A and B are shown apart, each in its own frame.
Chain A
Amino acid sequence: MMNDFDQLQAQDTVYALAAGPGGIVFAGRASGLYRSSDGGASWQDAYQSLKPEQALVTTAVVIAADGSVFAGVNGGVLRSSDGGFAWFAASLGSPPPLVTALAISPHFEVDGTMLAGTAEDGVFFSTDRGQHWISSNFRLIDLNVYSLALSPDFARDQTALVGTETGLFRSTNGGRAWRSIPFPDEAGPVLSLAISPNFARDGRVFAGTESAGLFTSTDRGDTWAQIAADNLTRAVNQMAFAGERLWLLLDDDLLRSDDLGASWQSATPPAADGPMWMALTVLPGERGHVLVGSGSGDILRAG
């Protein structure tokens, strides 16, 4: 088996990671998308069948419950229904938007709903498993999207959150329209979002910012409080829940909390010359482990 990962050049930034069952992991990089079937130990070029003339910078990747894989690139979303071997492209229109975030409905198998956030063109949504996308920016007055999150109870509450350059927006109609929600003016951009698995009960949301650390809300985003901690003063690049455990990826640190942010433990993997961590994914079935990717191209297991 050819291992393209070894051939990657240095500085091949890891923008996004997504893990599925059975050790399947995808890594979206500056040079394209890579697939691992052994939990990140070895990697293959997932775009081999596409034979792109230029590197397809892949800035977002997600795996649906039915195994479909979606990759965000400049101008569109690629989808694969055979585990990342054959790909179909769906355009987001012209001028081509750069996809910065993808989110899949927890009930994707039934509703086929996905949202895509873009760098300059706001949010797009699809209700046919990513085949067609429609711009969905009613009342989204900041179109520079950095992060997206859907409620675990999306089928019922239709709630989605978008983190932008200037703050946060919430939709309660499945992403058809947005409403700005109060967030400290100086705190944006909002780089990452995580919604509690018990959102229907606890209404808890976390928002990670570039310059003001971590914020939390316990009322579905209506009000926000900053989490004061010495090690939470840097950019919060990524967040992910693994059950009740919350993982937090800072520029140079990986933190975990088992008490919804009340206390944090460092779990940073040892890495050479202090990389800037940019991508995070929870390995399913391995509650204690995550994969992290860096701006310089490293992908490491941590836990």
Chain B
Amino acid sequence: MRIKRTPGLVFQPQTHHALRSGIHQFASAIRPTLGPIARTVAIDQIVKPGATPEVLDSGGVIARRIIELADSNQDVGAMLMRALVCRQHDLVGDGAATTAVLFQAIYNQGLRYLAAGGNATRLRAALDRALPVILSELDRMTFFVEGKERLGHIAQSICHDADMAALMGEIFDIIGEHGQLDIRQDQGRGLRRDYVEGAYWNGGLFSRAMVADAAAGRTDFENAALFLCDFEVKEARDLFPIFEAAIDANVGALVIVIRSLSDQAMSLVVAANKPEKLKVMAVKLPGLNPVDRQAALEDLAVLTGATPLLTAAGDQTRGTTPAHFGRARRVWADLRNFGILSGRGNPRALRQHLLNLEENFRRTSDPDLRAKLQPRIGRLWGGSATLWVGGSTKLEIEARKAVAERTAGTLRAAVREGVLPGGGMALLNCRSALDTLRPDDADERAAYRTLHEALAEPARAIFENAGYDASEVLAKLSFEPSNCGFDVLSGQVVDVCEAGILDSAAVLKSAVRSAVTTASLALSIDVLVHHRKPEAMSQPG
């Protein structure tokens, strides 16, 4: 699609009208996907015009597919929301539709106040001040769940796939919030899962000649000593001190974890492997950069009790002593990975190391750092799971895998940061906290009123999407205790927590935070400026 842009400036009241219309169009495309009885959205194939349309039920994916609106003024509003919704989807994997619905409701309510003569900047400040009230109320309501059934309920609300939800509940009940989970495509039609005990890293054997069990394609050592370093060994003789130290220590099986080996050094390792005397294998030190390699060495050292030798510290292999070796009950390696079971490091040191990593994870909000810390913690926790996703067609498998990945991300956040009453009830219940505040300032009052109305909107959308009269249901709920909500599947008023209708606290808090701050910013926009842009072919974002 080629869209021509006209440069120029747009002022009020067209700015508000255009933004409102763009936001409305974008939100209307996502709103039907909210709730357990969600509707779907069909989208033309962008790359292959004329092909079967994509049928989507994920607000985040739908947002990604909407690239541009025809009207350049309305497009500003739509793209503002797109950025917000995509960020929510990328960061926490869910809550895109809730974010969109909240954003639109706050914007529309705010506009009414501005139309009545309110001040946008003061309203924005008041909204920003009201946000902590809602977040602290959500914090108060947050609780943690254990058990595969309850976790399965949360998974069900994300993936709407009973088989997948049951498996996800079981997996996260076992691996925990930081556990390693690989989601892979399978040849079969269904879903299955495997669990692997111990820690494993990418970085397998240096040579096929080190594979002891050709049929299994791997080598297993029992009661092994581990030598850790970040050296690039070119001369075979540099390995002699390691072998000598191993013989001195009466080691029966030696695993050398090293950054690289020359062909000559590799040959020596293969030649030195004498199963009756000293079994030897060499595996690649994991990590593509010095920081990752350092992290892997740290984790391996704590797990096995080894003292790594480091290039940066000026260490050389000739300083190797038996005291440098770590120990493990079992070590395995294939050509891609190596793993350790029952490392013999000091358990107190391992506990402390894990506490430090978990603390760093909690403190940082940098998603890249979190993405690196999480697998480190998961590995040291001593186990991982693989979910194999099958299907009838390649397309179905890919789609189901994407849903599994999204569900896993949200469930992980739910285990880590707790859950809240679902079905829109947590946000509805936040309104009582706003009601207790009685500000004298008109802008504050307007902000609270705006949020009070907006907080009901996700519940309203869930009820409408399921085919109920939202006003009627909300009226019914107003006579019920705060722990009760409306189960759209059964059509009954139930205790939502008892019924397992739960939302991830991390997802909901992120949605509220993003929607309030972005909507308050959008309300302060007075002028649109369009630049002259070269005509360009639109590409999916």
- B226 CB to closest chain A CB, in angstroms? 15
Tell me, yes or no, whether A173 is within 8 Å of chain B by CB.
yes
* Residue among A94, A173, A177 facing the most chain B CB atoms (10 A cut-off): A177
Name the contact of A173 in the complex, choosing from B147, B195, B223 (C-beta under 8 A): B147
Partner among A120, A173, A176, A180 whose Cβ is within 8 Å of the Cβ of B344 = A120
A-B pairs with beta carbons under 8 A, tally? 69
> How many Å lie between the Cα of A177 and that of B197 in the bound state?
11
User: Is the C-beta of B175 less than 8 angstroms from some C-beta in chain A?
Assistant: yes
- A141 adjacent to B174 (CB under 8 Å): no
Do the beta carbons of A177 and B176 come within 8 Å of each other?
yes
Q: Is the pair A139, B347 in contact by a Cβ cutoff of 8 Å?
A: no
Task: Say which residue of A143, A164, A167, A177 sits within 8 Å of B342 (CB atoms).
Answer: A143
Interface of B is mostly: mixed
A140 at the interface (CB under 8 A from B): yes
* A38 vs B354: C-alpha distance when bound (angstroms): 51
Q: B175, B347, B381: which contacts A165 (Cβ < 8 A)?
A: B347
Contacts of B363 in A (CB 8 A): none
In contact, B383 and A173 (Cβ under 8 angstroms): no
The yes or no answer to B163 lying at the interface (CB within 8 A) is no
Contact residues in B for A166 (Cβ distance below 8 Å) = 347-348, 351
Q: Taking the complex as formed, is A37 at the interface, i.e. its CB lies under 8 A from any CB of chain B?
A: no
**What is the distance, in angstroms, from B300's C-beta to the closest C-beta of chain A?**
15
| Contact in complex: A143, B347 (CB < 8 Å) | yes
Query: Is the pair A177, B350 in contact by a Cβ cutoff of 8 Å?
Result: no
Chain A 177-205 near chain B by CB (<8 Å), digits 1 or 0: 10110000100000000000000000000
Given the interface pairs A94-B222, A138-B195, A138-B197, the reply to whether A177 lies near B175 with Cβ below 8 Å is: yes
Bound-state Cα–Cα, A122 to B381, Å: 13
Closest to A122 in B: B342
Q: Which residues from chain B contact A177 at a C-beta distance below 8 Å?
A: 173-176, 383
B179 within 8 A of A: yes
| Docked pose: A180 CA to B351 CA in angstroms | 9
- Residue among A94, A139, A142, A173 with the most chain B CB within 10 A? A139
Check if A95 sits within 8 Å of B347, measured CB to CB.
Answer: no
- For residue A121, which residues in chain B have a CB less than 8 angstroms away from its CB? 329, 342
Residue contact A164 to B347, C-beta cutoff 8 Å: yes
CB distance from A185 to the nearest CB of B (A): 8
A211 to chain B, nearest CB (A): 14
Whether A141 lies near B223 (C-beta < 8 A) is no
Q: Is B223 in contact with A95, judged by CB distance below 8 angstroms? A: yes
Closest B residue by C-beta to A118: B342
A172 adjacent to chain B (CB < 8 Å): yes
Report if A135 contacts B (CB, 8 A).
yes
Contact A173–B222 (Cβ < 8 Å)? no
Measured CB to CB, the nearest residue on chain B to A142 is B347
Q: For the complex, what is the distance from the CA of A115 to the CA of B4, rounded to whole Å?
A: 71
Query: Chain A nearest CB: distance from B218 CB in Å?
Result: 15
User: Mask for B334-348, Cβ within 8 A of A = 1, else 0?
Assistant: 000000011010011
Residues from chain A with a CB closer than 8 A to the CB of B342 are 120-122, 137, 143
Does B507 lie at the interface of the complex (its beta carbon under 8 Å from any beta carbon of A)? Answer: no
If A95-B223, A172-B146, A172-B147 touch, does A138 touch B175 (CB 8 Å cutoff)? Answer: yes
Residues of B within 8 A of A167 (CB): 351
What are the interface flags for B255-268 relative to A under an 8 Å C-beta threshold, 1 for contact and 0 otherwise? 00000000000000
In the assembled complex, the Cα of A94 lies from the Cα of B220 at a distance in Å of: 11
Is B148 in the interface zone, CB < 8 Å from A?
yes
Known contacts A173-B173, A177-B176; A144 and B382 CB within 8 A of each other: no
Cβ contact of A140, chosen from B146, B148, B329, B382, cutoff 8 A: B382
A258 CA to B298 CA, complexed, in Å: 50
CA distance A176 to B148 in the complex (A): 11
Interfacial chain B residues near A135, Cβ < 8 Å? 197, 341
A121 and B195 CA atoms in complex are apart in Å by: 17
**Interface contact B175-A95, CB-CB below 8 Å:** no
* Nearest CB of B to A135, in Å: 5
Q: Can you pick out 13 interface pairs between chain A and chain B where the beta carbons lie within 8 Å of each other? A: A94-B222, A95-B330, A120-B329, A137-B382, A138-B179, A138-B197, A138-B381, A139-B382, A141-B347, A141-B350, A166-B347, A176-B174, A185-B348
Given contacts A95-B222, A137-B383, 20 further A-B contacts (CB under 8 A): A95-B329, A120-B342, A135-B197, A135-B341, A137-B342, A138-B176, A138-B383, A139-B383, A141-B351, A142-B347, A165-B347, A166-B347, A166-B348, A172-B146, A172-B147, A176-B173, A177-B173, A177-B174, A177-B175, A177-B176
Binding site for B on A (CB under 8 A): 94-95, 120-122, 135, 137-144, 164-167, 172-173, 176-177, 179-180, 185
